[in-house]
Amino acid sequence: MAALACAVLGAVTLGTAVPAVAAPAAPAARPATTGDTTGDRLPELDPQALQHALSSAPDRVTGVLARVSGPDGHWTGTYGTADIMTGAPVPVDGRFRLGSVTKTFIATVMLQLAAEGRVDLDQPVQRYLPDVLPDSYPPIPVRTLLNFTSSLPELTADDLPTTPDGIVEHRFDDHPLSELVAKAVRHKRPFTHPGCMQVYGATGYYVAAMLVEELTGHTYQQEITTRILQPLHLRDTTAPQTDTTIPGPHSDGYIAVPRPDGGSQLVDITEQNPGAGGMISTTADLDRFLTALFRGRLLSSTEQAELFDVPDVPYLGGTAHDPGQGRAYYAAGLMRVTLPNGVTVWGKTGTTFGYTNGMFTTRDLRRRLVYSFNPTTGGGNDLALVNRILSATFAP
C-alpha cells in the first residue's frame, strides 16, 4: 500500500480538528457487470475505521473529506476545518482542485477523438504536432502519451518553484503548455525506445492536451467541458483556464512557510493560477464521472478497452513492492492496483498546492471511493493518510 501511494504522486503544479461522521446506507441491488468483479470479497463498510482513517493525520492536514459509494453501501465523512481562522467545518459538498486527476479527463477526450477518426493512437505525435518535440526524438506514438510509456522527460525543481516561499510568491504565475513542454524536453529522456518501459509523469499529458487543442481548435478545458462535464451534468465541476478562485463551498488550502525563528506559519494558497491540471470538482461529481466512464457512457467499446489495457512492460525503477511488482500498472489515464485482500481497484490520484485527492473503484463499481484533503506541505500525497483511507475502504 505504501508503494501504491508513492507511485501515484501527482505531477503538475492548523487549527483544532473536529470530526464529522455520516452513517452508512443500506446496500442496494448489485448491477450485472463483467471484468474484474469482486465476487464476495469486499468487506462490509466500517464507519469507525473510515472515520479513524480520515482523522489519522491531524498534524499534517487541515481538512479531509471522503465519500464511499456503490451497491455495497454508502458513507461520507469529514475531518478538520475548512478555514483555520474561523474553525468552519469541512463542507461535505466542498469543491477542491484536482491536479493530476485531470489526466483521466484528458485521456477520455483523446480516446473520443480517436473514435471519431481525428487521431490515430498508433501514429507518432510528430505527425500532428511537428514543431513541439526536438528533431532528435524518435517517433513517439500518441498512445504512449496516455499510458506513460512515451519516454518524454519531466520538469525538475530547477524549472518551477518548489520551496514554500517560492510557491507562495509565484502561485499566480501562468505557465502555458508549450512552455512546460519546452522546459521538460531540455532534460535527458528516461529511456530510449518509446513503449518499452513505463514511468509516471506529466509531460506526456501536457503534449496530449496540446494535441487536443490542435485537433479541435479549442482549449482542452473547453473540450472537457462540452464532451464530459455538460453531458454528465457535472454542475459542480469546472475546468478553468485563468480563474484563480474556487467557486462555491470549499476548504481552503494552506502551505507551511518557515519562519526565521525556526517555526512555520500557514499561508493561505487557496487562490492560485489553475495551470495544467487545474480542474475543480466535488466527491459527488467525480463519483458520477467514474460511474459513467466505467459503464461506457463516454467511450465506445474499442476505446473503453484502452482504459484497462496496461502495457506488459517493466516499470522504470520498479520493485516487487510496487502495485505492478516491477511491471507497468498504468493504462490510459487510470492505474490498476490489487490490494492485499485480493480486491483490484482502478483509479487516479492528483495533487496541487494545498490540495490532494483521489478516486478509486472496483471495476464492477460495487464500491467507489473519492477523497480530498488539504496537506500543509505544499502538495504531494501524504503516504500514510492515503494508505489508511484506501485500506479502510477496500481492505480493512
**Dist CA 38 CA 286 (whole Å):** 21
**Dist CA 231 CA 297 (whole Å):** 10
Alpha-carbon Rg for the chain in angstroms:
20
Q: Is 55 a catalytic residue?
A: no
**Dist CA 50 CA 68 (whole Å):** 10
**Dist CA 348 CA 334 (whole Å):** 6
Catalytic hit among 55, 100, 150, 281 = 100
CB atoms within 10 A of CB 206: 29
Quote the longest CA-to-CA distance of the chain: 61
Q: How many CA atoms lie within 13 A of 138 on its CB side?
A: 12
CA 325 to chain CA centroid, nearest Å: 21
Q: Treating both helix axes as pointing N-terminal to C-terminal, what angle do 383-394 and 47-54 enclose, rounded to 10 degrees?
A: 170
Residue 78's beta-bridge partner residues?
20, 65
**Dist CA 231 CA 255 (whole Å):** 36
**Dist CA 213 CA 220 (whole Å):** 6
Burial 15-28 (b: 16+ CB within 10 A, else e): bebebebbebeeee
The burial of 211, by beta-carbon neighbours within 10 Å (0-12 exposed, 13-18 middle, 19 or more buried), is given as buried
**Dist CA 96 CA 282 (whole Å):** 6
226: cell is 462540452
**Dist CA 297 CA 68 (whole Å):** 21
Identify whether the C-beta of residue 165 lies closer than 8 Å to the C-beta of residue 130. Answer: no
**Dist CA 108 CA 365 (whole Å):** 18
Provide φ and ψ at 194, rounded to 5°: -55, 135
**What positions carry a catalytic annotation?**
100
